[in-house]
Amino acid sequence: MAKTLSVLIPVYNEKATVLELLRRVEAVPLPTAKQIIIVDDASTDGTRELLQGLEGRALVVRHERNRGKGAALRTALARATGEITIVQDADLEYDPADYPMMLGPLLDGRADAVYGSRFLGGPHRVLFFWHYFGNLIFTLVTNVLYDINLTDMGTCYKAFLTDHLKAMPLRSERFGIEAELTAKTCKRRLRLYEVPISYSGRTYAEGKKITWKDGFSYLWCLLRYRVSD
């Protein structure tokens, strides 16, 4: 059984949610210790100041300029010491209460990676059709290119045995990191499981950041990393 879980939290302009998210991560009962790593990606809304003074609760790292989610995850991963690593957005769309479900296949030795799927029956907020359709298309492309049967390629909730994750040469700066992680997980034929999770999606008025333009990064990464690492 793993002794430590590293929780990687990239943050950009999440003043309204980041402290509540941290509280929820801390509150999850697990048979593992938690290492919480927050990377502030040059926030401008007061998040940076809010994160000051969290010593003892989390390791906080700051980017001096905004570089994107992928860059923030790489910064956090370089500091991860846990046997298991999970990616956690700071916007409360994903609920840390799902950690036990996510970690089960890793803790009992069945999996090298676990994805939390928003489309396996868990409760979710009803929102944008085109976001759902886009993810459906990119998931289908992933399944065709890599001969697998995922249901949610673009989920934030991805957990790994840390050694496998650190062995991947990750390059994406922004949201393309989701597709890059999936491509390299599939290409390496890691033992991948999916579990159902809840999802409380946000509107753009509530702070959602990913847009249709990021779809081009998804497609590029899926195609690029099919033939090159």
Rounded mean pLDDT for each run of 10 residues along the chain, 229 residues in total: 85 95 96 95 95 92 96 97 97 94 96 94 61 81 94 94 96 90 95 93 56 72 84
Count of C-beta atoms within a 10 Å radius of residue 135 = 20
4 is written with which tokens?
């430590």
Asked whether 224 and 176 are in contact (CB, 8 A), the reply is no
Pairing of strands 113-117, 4-11: unpaired
pLDDT at 118: 87
- Would you give the end-to-end CA distance of the chain in angstroms? 31
Count of C-beta atoms within a 10 Å radius of residue 67 = 18
Residue with tokens 């497609």: 219
Distance between CA atoms of 190 and 21, rounded to whole angstroms? Answer: 29
pLDDT at 55: 83
Q: Which of the four CATH numbers 3.40.50.1260, 3.40.50.920, 3.30.70.2860, 3.90.550.10 does domain 4-227 have?
A: 3.90.550.10
b vs e for 196-209, b when ≥16 Cβ sit within 10 Å of the residue's Cβ? bbbbebeeeeebee
Distance between CA atoms of 229 and 214, rounded to whole angstroms? Answer: 20
In degrees rounded to 5, what are phi and psi of residue 41? -90, 55
49 is written with which tokens?
């100041």
Nearest Cα residue to 156 out of 215, 70, 33: 70
Q: Residues with Cβ < 8 Å from 66, sequence gap 6 or more?
A: 12, 41, 42
Q: Can you give the pTM of this predicted structure?
A: 0.88
Q: What are the pLDDT digits (tens) for 7-21?
A: 999 999 999 999 999
pLDDT at 219: 84
Angle between helices 177-187 and 129-146 (to 10 degrees): 30
